[in-house]
Amino acid sequence: MDRLHLMAVFVAVCEAESFNGGARRLGMSPPAVTRAVAALETRLGVKLLQRSTRMVRVTEAGQRYLDDARRILEEVDEADEAAAGINAIPRGQLTLTVPVLFGKMFVMPGVVDYLNRYPEVEVSALFLDRVVNLLEEGVDVAVRIGPLPDSSLRAIKVGQVRRVLCASPAYLAAHGAPTTPQDLQGRTIIAATAVSPMVEWKFGPETAPSAIKLRPRLTVSSNDAAIEAARAGLGITRLMSYQISPHLASGELQILLPDYENAPLPIHIVHRENKYGSAKVRSFIDLLAERLRADPHLNGTSSEVVT
C-alpha cells in the first residue's frame, strides 16, 4: 500500500480513537482500515495502537509516529497548494480553537463569513477555555488572550482586552460604588472560577500589584453564569471586558475602579510555522484578523464607568 495512504489512515484512527470512526472519516470500510493499520505496523516492525473492545489508544512509539505523520501529511498538502500557485482556491479541513465566549461573540461570525466565501473548506471549531497544543491536537489556528510564551508558532496581534470589575446599576444604587480595591471587603462578590472558598484579585501594574483576598458569596464555573448573576443585581464580579461588552452598551452593567486595572491583555491569532503558505489557513487568518482589528470592543475602550 502507498505509504502516505497508510499514514493518513493511521492519523484518522488516532484522531477518532476508533477504527470505525476513522473509517467513517475516510469513507472506507472498517476492515480496510484495520488492514491498513496492520500493514503499517508490519512495515515499521512496531506496535502503534493498543486495541480494546471500546476504543484504541496510541502506544509510546505510536505517539511519536503520529506527530511525525501529521507533520508530513500537512507538508504534502502545503506543497501541493504551493505548486498550484499562491492564488489556489482554499479547500480541505481547517481546525481552530478559541476561548468559549470569545469564540461565540467574535469568531463565529467570521467563520460563517469564511465558509460562505469558500465552499470547498470544512471548519472544525473547538471552543475551549484552555491552551491547546496545536501540533499534538492537529489544530491549524488558535486565538489566544494574554502574553504568549516563546514558541515556534507565528502570532499576529489583533487587539487587546482588559480584566474589569463590574456590577449592575441596581446593586450600585443600593450599596454604593467602591472607590478603592479595599472597599470590596464586605461587598457581595461573584467569582467565575474553579470552586474555592476564597479568591485573590490583583490590581495595579504587573511590577507592583496589590492583592485583595475575598470570600465570594457566589462561585460559579462559567463566565455566562457570573454575568447573569451580576445583571440580576446580586453583586460585583470580575471578567474580561469583551465578555460584558453587550451589557455595558445596554447599561445593564457598569465598570468599577478603572484606575486600578491591570495592564491590557493582548489578543493574538497564532498558527504553526510551516515552509509553505496554506491557502485555507492564510485566507482564514487574513479574514479573521481584519474583522477583529475592526471591532471597537477589542481595539477601543468603554465609557461605561462608575467613579
CATH number where 137 lies: 3.40.190.10
In terms of domains, do 232 and 280 share one? no
Does residue 65 sit in the same domain as residue 9?
yes
Within this chain, do residues 107 and 174 fall inside the same structural domain, yes or no?
no
Residues 291, 158: Cα–Cα separation, whole Å:
9
pLDDT of residue 184: 95
Q: How far apart are CA 19 and CA 71, in angstroms?
A: 21
Same domain, 73 and 109: no
**CA separation for the pair 203, 200 (Å, rounded):** 10
Residue 98 lies in a domain: yes
Same domain, 200 and 228: yes
Contact predicate 131/66, CB 8 Å: no
Contact call for residues 285 and 293 (beta carbons, < 8 A) = no
Return averaged pLDDT per consecutive 10 residues of the chain, 307 residues in all.
Answer: 87 88 89 92 91 82 90 79 67 91 94 96 92 82 87 86 95 95 94 75 80 93 93 96 92 95 92 70 94 88 40
Same domain, 201 and 221: yes
- Is 130 in the same domain as 205? no
Predicted pLDDT of residue 302? 42
Residue 305 lies in a domain: no
Question: Which of the listed residues 32, 61, 84 is the one where a domain comes to its end?
Answer: 84
- Residue 68 contacts by C-beta under 8 Å, 6 or more apart in sequence? none
Residues 157 and 167 in one domain: no
For residue 150, give the C-alpha cell: 516563546
- List the CATH number of the domain containing 208: 3.40.190.290
Report if residue 58 sits inside a domain. yes
pLDDT reported for residue 89: 83
Strand order through the sheet with 236-240: 218-220, 189-192, 236-240, 163-167, 254-256, 305-306
pLDDT of residue 158: 95
Mark which of 68, 84, 100 sits at the end of a domain.
84
What is the per-residue pLDDT for 229? 97
Examine residue 299 and state whether it is found in any structural domain, yes or no: no
Whether 136 maps to a domain, the answer reads: yes
CB atoms within 10 A of CB 272: 18
> For the domain that residue 48 is a member of, what is the CATH number?
1.10.10.10
Q: pLDDT value at position 208? A: 72
pLDDT for 130 equals: 86
Residue 300 lies in a domain: no
Domain count, the chain: 3
pTM listed for this prediction = 0.67
Q: In terms of domains, do 70 and 202 share one? A: no
Contact assessment for residue 226 and residue 190, using Cβ atoms and an 8 Å cutoff = yes
The secondary element (H helix, E strand) that includes residue 62 is helix 60-84
Would residue 37 count as lying in a domain? yes
Q: Print burial letters for 198-230: b (CB count within 10 Å at least 16), e (below 16).
A: ebebebeeeeeeeebebebebbbeebeebbebb
Give the pLDDT score at 82.
65
Domain housing 46: 3-84
pLDDT of residue 131: 85
Residue 128 lies in a domain: yes
What pLDDT is stored for residue 221 in this prediction? 87
Same domain as 145, residue 283: yes
What are the start-end ranges of the E strands in the chain?
Answer: 49-51, 56-58, 92-98, 121-127, 141-145, 153-161, 163-167, 189-192, 199-203, 210-214, 218-220, 236-240, 254-256, 265-272, 305-306
Distance CA 116, CA 72 (A): 30
Q: Report the pLDDT value the prediction gives residue 305, as an integer from 0 to 100.
A: 41
